Amino acid sequence: MSSSPASTLPETPPPKPALEMERVTVTTLHDPTKSVLEDVNWTVNAGDFWAVAGLLRSGKSDLMALASGIMRSGQGICRVFGEELFASFEQDQLALRLRVGLVFDGGQLLHQLTLAENIALPLHYHWGHLDFDLGPRLKMLQAFTGIESWMQELPNSVTRNWQQRIGLARALALKPELLLLDSPLTGLDPRDTAWWVETISALAAGHPVLDDRPATVIVTGDNLRPWAGRATHFALLKDRRFVPLGTRAELAGHQEPLLRELLTDR
């Protein structure tokens, strides 16, 4: 009995979703009654690299906060790696939440701790009881930031950009699979911008700090141009709506007027 060549090819397994939002209303972190985005339907598959752009106060930070699980959605369902957020007790979802890393706009470091202590905090908190040496991992993370010589300083002693680098190292400490970055390029000079774009692209492709495993990345910003040749998928936040723009190839032909503004060279 013969079979056609097509039937003998192994089937490619469908990509697993890392993040799913169904008819979600995004509220603000400080006022759960105030919605900034409505009816968000969005699926991010494992291995995707999304760039989401929007103007000031379009809800970028709140969308990231919701996706990271620190905030409930006003309405709708938000799933991370197939599990609905806040569906069970917080303690039961700890393992799920540790698969997600969020880098806040500005880093949001703990100001009582040194930069080194900030990076070490999640490692010592979650892995401190385990019987292996955390030293090499800490050294790797410190080297990753490129500012090892400042590690004993307090956050207030270094620039916002460096605080954000520490925030990135802290988010990567527990090797998350889904990495969310809230406006990492805000206020950076060209050299720092290049560092962030290269680093995030390397993380999406597979970096030693994540054991060479490609991370699923979502990055927000008010300018899509730095990500145009890097991200695989794009979206806009406009008029309280989440507007998917499609892949890199689809981006070029898209007629969205705001897209032209967000792709301009600034």
Partner 1 sequence: MTGPGTVQNAMGNSTEGEAPARGMRSAPYYLGSAGRRLVRFLLDIHGLGAFALITLGVMVSKANVARVIIYPLALRQVYRAGVQLLPMATFLALALGLIVIGQTVSVLNRVGATNQFLGVVMVTAVVRELGPLLAAILVLCRAGAATVVELGTARALGEVEALEVLGIDPIHYFVVPRLVGMALGMFSLTVYLILGALLSGYFWAFLQDIQLFPGDYFRQMADSLNPLDFVLLGLKTAGFGSVIALVSCFHGLAQPLSITEVSRATVRAVGQSIVFCAFLEAFFIVVYLVS
| Of residues 47 and 155, the one with the C-beta less far from partner 1 | 155
**Binds partner 1 by CB under 8 A, chosen from 55, 110, 143, 194:** 110
Q: Which of residues 26-55 bind partner 1 (CB under 8 A)?
A: 29-30
Q: Which residues of 37-53 are buried (b: 16+ CB within 10 A; e: fewer)?
A: bbbbebebbebbbbbbb
| Of residues 52 and 66, the one with the C-beta less far from partner 1 | 66
Binding mask 206-245 for partner 1 (x = CB under 8 A): ----------------------------------------
CB 95 to partner 1: min, Å: 9
CB 8 to partner 1: min, Å: 46
For the chain, how long is the longest CA-to-CA vector?
74
Please tell me what DSSP assigns to residue 19.
E
| Cα–Cα distance for residue pair 104/115, rounded to 1 Å | 15
**Binds partner 1 by CB under 8 A, chosen from 16, 34, 57, 124:** 124
- Contact between 171 and partner 1 by CB under 8 A: the answer reads yes
Binding residues for partner 1, total number by CB under 8 A: 30
| Of residues 54 and 69, the one with the C-beta less far from partner 1 | 69
Binding mask 12-31 for partner 1 (x = CB under 8 A): -----------------xx-
| Of residues 65 and 235, the one with the C-beta less far from partner 1 | 65
**Binds partner 1 by CB under 8 A, chosen from 43, 108, 193, 232:** 108
- Contact between 109 and partner 1 by CB under 8 A: the answer reads yes
CB 128 to partner 1: min, Å: 4
CB 87 to partner 1: min, Å: 17
Which chain residues interact with partner 1 by CB under 8 A?
29-30, 65, 68-70, 90-91, 94, 97-98, 100-102, 104, 108-112, 121-122, 124-126, 128-129, 170-171, 174
